[in-house]
């Protein structure tokens, strides 16, 4: 069939409380602030067309 992975987006959010975060999703959907729970629309969304390597989820050393 077609690609095994759907098109994904990295959505960037910024909450009025000052918390900012990003999340990968197949859609540019709203997300809830992990700190206060407010539903926020993404202020920016990046297309991710290529496969995401597992290394992407590793945090860089301090």
Q: Which is nearer to Zn ion, 11 or 33 (CB)?
A: 33
Angle value at C-alpha 19, between 13 and 24, nearest 5 degrees? 35
Which of the ranges 4-12, 27-35, 41-49, 52-60 carries the binding residues for Zn ion, by CB under 5 A?
Answer: 27-35
CA distances from 19 to 37, 43, 57, 58, 59 (A): 11, 13, 20, 21, 19
Site residue total, Zn ion (CB under 5 A): 7
Residue 44 touching Zn ion (CB under 5 A): no
Kindly list the residues in this chain that would bind Zn ion in the complex (CB under 5 A): 15, 17, 19, 33, 35-36, 38
């Amino acid at each position: 069939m077609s690609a095994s992975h759907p098109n994904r987006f990295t959505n960037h959010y910024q909450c009025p409380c000052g918390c900012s975060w990003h999340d990968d999703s197949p859609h540019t959907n709203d997300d809830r602030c992990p700190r206060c729970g407010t539903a926020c629309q993404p202020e920016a969304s990046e297309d991710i067309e290529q496969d995401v390597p597992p290394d992407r989820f590793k945090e860089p050393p301090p």
